[in-house]
Structure 1
Amino acid sequence: MFNLITIGDALIDTHVQIDDATLECDINHEHCHLCLDYASKIPITGSFQSLGGNGANVACGASKLGLKTVILSSVGNDSNGKLVEEELTKFKVNTSLISIDKTAQTRYSVVLNFRGERTILSYHQKRQYVWPDNIPATDWIYYTGMSEGFEKIQTKLINHLRKHPTIRSAFNPGSYQLKQSLELVQEMIAHTNLLIINLEEAEKILNTTLAKEKTPVALIHKLLALGAEEVVITDASRGAWAGDSDSVWHINSFPVEVKAKTGAGDAFSSGYLAARFNKLSLEEALVWGIANSSSVIVKVGSQNGLLDKAGIKKMINKYSKIKPKAV
């Protein structure tokens, strides 16, 4: 029996720190472009490789917070695939549901870190994901970013949830899923207990904008209408909102010095999910999510700042003046 199954890609991130670049932004600084000299050799100030991917990141974060976790994913028959499994094992994540796809390489990405923000060059290749014949019992399933081939897995997942109504489901659609089929994303939302997305993703799913809807609260109500029981919207430095049919809460971000944002959303998800698993309230879960993500963004790498339960409590005590408020 597991507490959590994460379903999503696991990959290798190559982090590159660059200083010799410029930003070009619109007048409101809402849309910016990272600019490098074309046909030039750009110096970097550091680089390293680490485990990445939404499914892997959340699995590691949840495991560190005490949840017995297994990941359902796919890697290639290559050195990166072996490295993925080794890194997951370090976090005590069970890897028995990882299948080896001999037709595809293990996914990888290049993460360009500049002025505390990241630009990700992400490689997606069609994968032969495998749904196991005997999927283990679990309390929660967290379904997140996958590559081409996710469609069959999603159908299997929905059927599994129908057959096992006591399983709680969380959904955080990945960039490829959002780009390829909003219809399938909305189909999954209808079978979701907990939807966790950022503001940009919320706007895309609903085909609207925050400016048009006026408040994140309005976005949450529209997402609840799609079938989710509980919705969380994160918005970087502006914090996060969480709501259900009874109430909506907001929490500000903790005032930490940001070094890199890679993995922040996944750290929030694992913190929030662990709190809900431990029967904490929606507003308490917001605090856990913000605490975990705040710890990750002060370091470079998706797992380097992940907290255990003691670390969560310490971070919350440090920023005890920041509390969730009903909105």
Structure 2
Amino acid sequence: MTGIDASDNRVDVLVVGDANPDLLLTGDTVPRFGQAEQLLDAADLLLGGSAAIVACGLARLGMRTALAAVVGDDQFGVFVRGRLTDGGVLDREVRTSRTLPTGISVVLSEPSDRAILTLPGTIPTLTAGAVRGAVDRLRPRHVHVASYFLQPGLAADLPVLLAELAAEGITVSLDTNWDPAERWSGLTEVLSRVDVFLPNREEALAIGSAVLGRGTKDLDEASCALSALGCRVVVKAGAEGGIVYEDGARVASAPGLVVDVVDTTGAGDSFDAGYLAASLRGVESEEERLRWAAVAGSLSVRGRGGTGAQATLAELAGVLA
């Protein structure tokens, strides 16, 4: 894919967050210690990081997209930049650290689940100041923030940054991804300033429980509580597709596709890309936005890794038709 014209600074979306390689392992992936040697079916080095996968998904859907992230001055950093460029993402706002290694995730993938081991490396070092600079230079219509819990420095400054973006008329979406510490704290002020929140079912239950101040296993209860903070909550519900909540109520849903699953890595990020592309292209119906998202997420599982089978705009339109 050809990249966007680097001479034209303005983009549709600035994606903010993590960019790193994924070492994707499939086969007999449940570790057995005691120096047991296990044989795998496959091992692939692929572009990972929620933010990077969303950015590539948006670019595949025809959106002018840039990424703000930090990589290391190493072979993994070169790999990440190359894959972003190949995917049509502007990498001008990807910074290089001379002291820290590029983050990396080892993904132990099974047909119905996966485990992820992550070396943070440069991932936590992205700052609000760097994002402000990127916004000034690129003048995006929309900013998407990914992997909130992997970036504590950015997270601490996010409420102020979101207020500044809103004052400039820039809409914002957030996908926190999983909290490795499983505390799920600090999000109330952030969610009150976000236009769209895109958790999966498990994240919605965990964060909703934190907001309610008690545990709940009722997805509607948790998501309604989250949307009552002021954001639109778009829940990724796996094979069930997606569900939208606004102003404390469930307002729309749409099913996913039935496809042959090769790898589910990054499917939620491709879902995010589909929803945001629909919104930025002026699709007004929540049901139709969800259809874009569910189709984009479903089609992405046809290939290995988060970006290997992401839908083009033509493919998505063909399925929607």
TM bucket (normalised to shorter chain) is 0.7 to 0.9
Residues 220 and 250, structure 2, Cα contact 8 Å, conserved in 1: no
Residues 118 and 260, structure 1, Cα contact 8 Å, conserved in 2: no
Counterpart residue type for residue 196 of structure 2: L
Superposition pairs of residues 1-327 of structure 1, within 5 angstroms? 1-18=10-27, 20=28, 34=30, 36=32, 38-125=34-121, 127-130=124-127, 131-132=129-130, 133=133, 134-145=136-147, 146-151=150-155, 154=158, 157-164=161-168, 166-176=169-179, 179=182, 182-183=185-186, 185-207=187-209, 215-228=218-231, 230-245=232-247, 248-280=251-283, 281-317=285-321
The CA RMSD measured in Å over matched residues stands at 2.3
> Take 1:222 and 1:190, find their aligned partners in 2: how far apart are those partners?
12
Shift of 1:157: 2.5
> Take 1:178 and 1:168, find their aligned partners in 2: how far apart are those partners?
29
Q: Which residue of 1 aligns with 2:5?
A: none
CA 101–152 in structure 1, closer or farther in 2 if over 3 Å, else same: farther
Q: Which residue of 2 aligns with 1:31?
A: none
TM-score, normalising length: structure 1: 0.84
> Take 2:57 and 2:209, find their aligned partners in 1: how far apart are those partners?
31
Count of equivalent residues: 299
Shift of 1:243: 2.6
Q: Which residue of 2 aligns with 1:322?
A: none
Alignment gaps of 5+ in structure 1: 22-33, 318-327
Instruction: Out of 138-147 and 243-252, give the one that drifted further.
Output: 243-252
Q: Percent identity?
A: 24
Deviations 1:10-55 (A, max 9, x none): 000011111x36xxxxxxxxxxxx5646530010011111111011
Residues 10 and 51, structure 1, Cα contact 8 Å, conserved in 2: yes
* Structure 2 counterpart SS, 1:2: coil
> Take 1:271 and 1:72, find their aligned partners in 2: how far apart are those partners?
20
TM-score, normalising length: structure 2: 0.85
CA 125–147 in structure 1, closer or farther in 2 if over 3 Å, else same: farther
Residues 2 and 69, structure 1, Cα contact 8 Å, conserved in 2: yes
Alignment gaps of 5+ in structure 2: 1-9
